[in-house]
Amino acid sequence: MKFKDFIDNSLQELHQVRQLKEEQQQGFDVLYYFWFGLVNGRFGAAEYNGIGGLGASATWGGGFFGLQRMYGLPQAMLDMFDYNGDGLIGYNDQALIREIGQLAIEIYNETGEFPPVITAADYLQNWAYYRVLYGKDFPDPNGYAGYPGSDSEVPDSLITSNTEGNSIFGWAGAQNFWRSLNLVLDKQALIEYYGQELIDQIFAVYDLDGDGQITGYALGNATSGDAGVWQMLYTLSLRKGLDVRVDQMPSPSELKDVFYNFSMFGDVSLADLYYESYGVYPEGDYQYYDPTYGQNQAPPPPEETPQSQAPPPQIGGLG
């Protein structure tokens, strides 16, 4: 992704976040907000690269990194967003949820009531039932290959990422998905839409620092939050020669052990490794992950004493 495109996408995302949060604060009905704000305005963006679209490259960290349409994403994530059941979250799901959302809005206009939140798992199981229940031609998800903003059909499976969704590098793409969504909906709001069980599974993977939020842009410069923790692991993984696009991302509890073992038995501190990659020492309190953090950092240069306060020079060895 070009820098200008990244800035444009960031500004558009910020505008959307503000708009959606304003709608929340105005007390809009939960289902109204889901179908109009999230489905119609975000997940099912009309353009293929619309902000927040399920298949949009910016949603997954930018096209440069190749993290769209990854196999191996957490099952909870597929249950929420893989609407055509192909094991991927991509443009086909973006186009399909938009069609579903348009029908939901039609139902609301005709009856004054919205359908409930329809997750991908729900839709795959009950789409034919919804046809009968609402008298609408809900699309058959099996083999669905619609593409946003086009009448053509392009299966996501034709062009997939070479990175596994459960790998170290794949984590960063999916974390970007949740980071941007978590700006709009906090954890409690996500639970209200998708249920405690699914959201707990998501946070168990992407909330590395355990603060109840998914934060930080992992694929940029040095950062903090969950992305900062990941950057430390990424740096360490490269040092150890791991294949970050294949080797599996540790869970938060496993991650603590990885950091601890390297900190105790490695030949350099983890914080110094981070410094070598990013030019700064990691932000935040990383003592939990790196018991040697801070021990090998260079001390700050001594402050110079102003000349007027300096002691008189010694001459000839005499005071």
> Per-domain residue ranges for the chain?
3-166, 207-278
pLDDT on residue 94: 98
- Residue 216, sorted as left (phi over 0), alpha (psi -120 to 50) or beta, turns out to be left
pLDDT on residue 220: 87
- For the chain, the straight-line distance linking the first and the last C-alpha, in angstroms and rounded, comes to 66
* pLDDT per residue as tens, the chain (319 positions): 444 444 444 445 444 444 545 544 444 588 999 999 999 999 999 999 999 999 999 999 998 899 999 999 999 999 999 999 999 999 999 999 999 999 999 999 999 999 999 999 999 999 999 999 999 999 999 999 999 999 999 999 999 999 999 999 999 999 999 999 999 999 999 999 999 999 999 999 999 988 999 999 999 898 888 999 999 999 999 999 999 999 999 998 898 888 888 888 888 888 888 888 899 887 765 555 666 555 544 444 555 544 444 444 343 333 3
Angle between helices 252-265 and 225-239 (to 10 degrees): 50
pLDDT on residue 284: 61
From residue 49, alpha-carbon distances to 9, 19, 68, 91, 193 in Å are 10, 19, 11, 9, 24
pLDDT on residue 10: 45
pLDDT on residue 286: 59
Strands (E), the chain: 146-147, 150-153
Q: What is the 3-state secondary structure (H, E, C) of 126-164?
A: HHHHHHHHHCCCCCCCCCCCEECCEEEECCHHHCCCCCC
Confirm if 12 and 4 have CB atoms less than 8 A apart.
Answer: no
pLDDT on residue 287: 56
Tell me, what DSSP letter sits at residue 301? P
pLDDT on residue 293: 57
Residues 162, 167, 172, 173, CA torsion sign: positive
* Nearest residue to 251 (alpha-carbon basis) of 186, 201, 217, 216: 201
Tell me, what DSSP letter sits at residue 315? B
Residue 274, burial from CB neighbour count under 10 angstroms (0-12, 13-18, 19+):
buried
